[in-house]
């Protein structure tokens, strides 16, 4: 499985794109602004979009992408793009985006029986069969109903936390999986830890508490951990704070975790 990081920032700025990952060529995890860097051919090849939740930084490019590829997919008879999401996320998209006021309702264009887009409800714990992938829906704790994902690969699972705060149910399931890579959000620095708590995001202090739940038998260095969703103005501060909490107890002692910064444009083969 190939994973392309189209966007991994908590906001936009030059060089920053909001959350989106492309699995192989046809499965999109979230539809943040990074989708706009794909070519028309690449966008037209996407058959499944899996959404963690309804917030704009995770769905902003979905209506624009559908519009960009509509004529091509309809001419090719490619069938509808399947948008997999929680019931609450689908309801939010129907009410606030695909409502024929903000954007056309592509679930009824060109007609309801053969639309460009089809919503597919999903639930936590479900394993989605999308393209060549098997993707499990994981729990998340956020200000709106939200999930994370775990995609199976020959090397183990690619795990994405989605937007979340402290989440014991997530670790209970992740500790049962052979994880190859974990991507976890840390949106705010500890200087703004109160804002992080109110908005149900992680800061380095709460990230440390979360990583303490990694199953000891896996070993702290069992898989790399990539930090995503940082606010552009806070990124350097967040990474310094993470390096401090994760440093060894004694000078010169190695870090307890293999924590890395996630870069837009990065590609992984699992």
CATH topology of domain 2-269: Metallo-beta-lactamase; Chain A (3.60.15)
Give the pTM: 0.94
Residue 72: CB atoms within 10 A of its CB come to 13
Q: Which of 90, 92, 35 is nearest to 65 (CA)?
A: 35
Residue 68: CB atoms within 10 A of its CB come to 17
Region 144-169 average pLDDT: 97
Categorize the per-residue pLDDT at 250 as very low, low, confident or very high, splitting at 50, 70 and 90. Answer: very low
Structural domain boundaries in the chain: 2-269
* pLDDT tens-digit map of 27-70: 999 999 999 999 999 999 999 999 999 999 999 999 999 999 99
Q: For CA atoms 148, 180, 206, 166, give the dihedral sign.
A: positive
* pLDDT tens-digit map of 108-136: 999 999 999 999 999 999 999 999 999 99
Angle at alpha carbon of residue 29, lines to 233 and 170, rounded to 5°: 80
Q: H-helix or E-strand containing 259?
A: strand 259-261
Q: Strand pairing partners for 226? A: 183, 260
């Amino acid at each position: 499985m190939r994973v392309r990081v189209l966007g991994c920032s908590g906001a936009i700025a030059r060089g920053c794109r909001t959350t989106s990952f492309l699995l192989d060529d046809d499965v999109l995890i979230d539809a943040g602004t990074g989708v706009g860097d794909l070519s028309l051919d690449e966008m037209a090849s996407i058959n499944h979009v899996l959404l963690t939740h309804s917030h704009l930084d995770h769905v902003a490019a979905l209506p624009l992408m559908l519009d960009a590829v509509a004529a091509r997919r309809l001419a090719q008879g490619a069938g509808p793009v399947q948008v997999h999401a929680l019931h609450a996320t689908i309801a939010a998209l129907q009410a606030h985006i695909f409502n024929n006021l903000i954007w056309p309702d592509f679930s009824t264009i060109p007609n309801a029986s053969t639309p460009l887009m089809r919503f597919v409800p999903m639930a936590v714990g479900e394993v989605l069969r999308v393209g060549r992938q098997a993707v499990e829906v994981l729990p998340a704790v956020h200000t709106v109903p939200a999930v994370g994902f775990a995609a199976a690969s020959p090397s183990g699972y690619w795990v994405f936390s989605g937007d979340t705060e402290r989440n014991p149910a997530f670790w209970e399931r992740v500790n049962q999986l052979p994880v190859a890579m974990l991507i976890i959000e840390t949106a705010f620095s500890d200087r703004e830890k109160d804002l992080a708590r109110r908005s149900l995001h992680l800061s380095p202090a709460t990230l440390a508490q979360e990583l303490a739940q990694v199953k000891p038998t896996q070993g702290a260095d069992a898989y790399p951990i990539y930090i995503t969703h940082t606010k552009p103005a806070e990124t350097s501060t967040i990474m310094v704070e993470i390096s401090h909490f994760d440093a060894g107890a004694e000078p010169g002692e190695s870090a307890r975790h293999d924590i890395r910064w996630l870069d837009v444009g990065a590609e992984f083969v699992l």
